[in-house]
Each structure stands twice: as structure tokens, then as C-alpha cells.
Amino acid sequence: QYRVEPGKTVVVEKLAGEAGAPVVFDQVLLVSSGDGGSVTIGKPIVAGAKVTGEIVEHGRGEKLIVFKFRRRKNYVRKNGHRQDYTAVKIAAIEA
């Protein structure tokens, strides 16, 4: 779940598509008017609501080190992991 606003960039899990390609998220859980007015909560999703955006870039996150060992057993494992991500610039929220 991500909180988005028009004009902002959000980092999500890796999506298919190249930079500049449009993307549509149609499973919206909550829509707010933004001025503190109306709020629409889905059951579980808001019918007819969608968020459109544009893929800015694909990238990889910071490296995480996974280190495992068992004492006295000569067992040591060290792995690195970098998560793939996609940066999406939000164009509009339609409700």
C-alpha cells in the first residue's frame, strides 16, 4: 500500500515496461479530496477509482547483507541482496 499524490514520485516493486511508459493502478483502497473534505473508503476497493502515472526509471536498492552462522559447527553463510524497484511519477487520481 502506498500513499500517493499527483505530481509526486513513488518507488514500488519492479513493474514491467520501459521508462516513459504509462502505468495504471486500478485497485485503490481510499480516495481523499485532499482539502480535508470528502473521504471515500473502499470495501475493499473504491469502485471506478484509478491512479495513472508514468514510469520514471528502473533501479536496484541498497545492498543488504544476509549473514548466518551456527556456533561450533563450522557453518557460515554470507549473501548479498539488492531489491529491484521502479520509480513511478503519479499523473492523476480519478475517483
- Per-residue pLDDT tens over the stretch 30-44: 999 877 778 999 999
Nearest CA to 91 out of 23, 1, 3, 7 is that of 7
* Contact of 48 with 71, CB cutoff 8 Å: no
The predicted structure's pLDDT at residue 53: 97
**15 close to 53: Cβ distance less than 8 angstroms:** no
- Check pLDDT > 90 for residue 56: yes
Is the separation of the CB atoms in 21 and 55 below 8 Å? Answer: yes
Distance, in Å, from the CA atom of 95 to the CA atom of 31, rounded to the nearest integer, reads: 7
pTM: 0.83
Q: What is the pLDDT of residues 58-67, one digit of tens each?
A: 999 999 999 9
What does the pLDDT average to over 18-38?
Answer: 90
Residue 82 has pLDDT above 90, yes or no: yes
